[in-house]
Amino acid sequence: MAIDGCIVTIDAMGTQRAIAKQILDQGGDYVLALKENQGTLYQDVVEMFAQAKAGTIEELVSEEVRTIEKGHGRIEIRRYRVIPDLDALAWLQEGSEGHNWPGLKAIGMVEAERRIGEKRSSETRYYLLSSPLSAKAFGEAVRSHWGIENSVHWVLDVGFHEDQSRIRAGYAAENFAVLRHLALNLLQHQSEPKNRRLSVKARRLKAAWDNDYLLHILTSL
């Protein structure tokens, strides 16, 4: 895949040093999501933003951009912050934990608030960046990623009833999510005549009923 000059956005599942290095080696930049399963790295990033907000880290550059989106009876407010401060990042990379993340040039934070009538909910997400993006550019990358994710999620829910899944034990939910994405990719790449193009759901049903069609899908790539 040609990613030279592109920004690659990946969910926390793909936030791994080997993946970050591969992106950089191919000439791209990354915006990688962080979650608690990254252990002390996640906690250190959270602490850096907390100190920046409290003003306890002197001369720390933290830019902020806010967006407001309305639709379907809800209001979504997002605040994007980026810390590209080299001294702060040096502490993160070379401190007691020594994270040594490949090509790290900035960290980002998104504070999202959703309002539906009288209900309020909020979420904060953190990211690793290989380029000192402006808060505006960082926000655009994140919104683009979630736009694609939301579209894929809608297809998975309609075609695979993902939201109705009650799989919870161990890593089963994550494993089945990977299988659904693999199946979705195969079905979406299946060519159909323009005059009888089938939806993903219809292709899935046809594959369940017709072994020849199923075999054609599995071997078409």
What is the model's pLDDT at position 126? 93
**pLDDT tens digits, 93-118:** 775 456 778 889 999 999 988 888 88
Please provide the average confidence, as pLDDT, over all residues in the chain: 77
Question: How many domains, in total, are found in the chain?
Answer: 2
* Nearby residues of 73 by Cβ (< 8 Å), 6 or more positions away: 116, 117
Q: Which domain holds residue 90?
A: 7-134
Q: Which amino acid is at 152?
A: V
Examine the pLDDT at 147 and tell me if it is beyond 50.
no
Q: Is residue 94 part of a domain?
A: yes
Cite the beta strand spans of the chain per DSSP E.
Answer: 7-10, 29-34, 63-71, 74-83, 106-116, 119-129
Residues 128 and 84 in one domain: yes
Q: Are residues 111 and 17 in the same domain?
A: yes
115 shares its domain with 170: no
Segment 159-163 shows an average pLDDT of 64
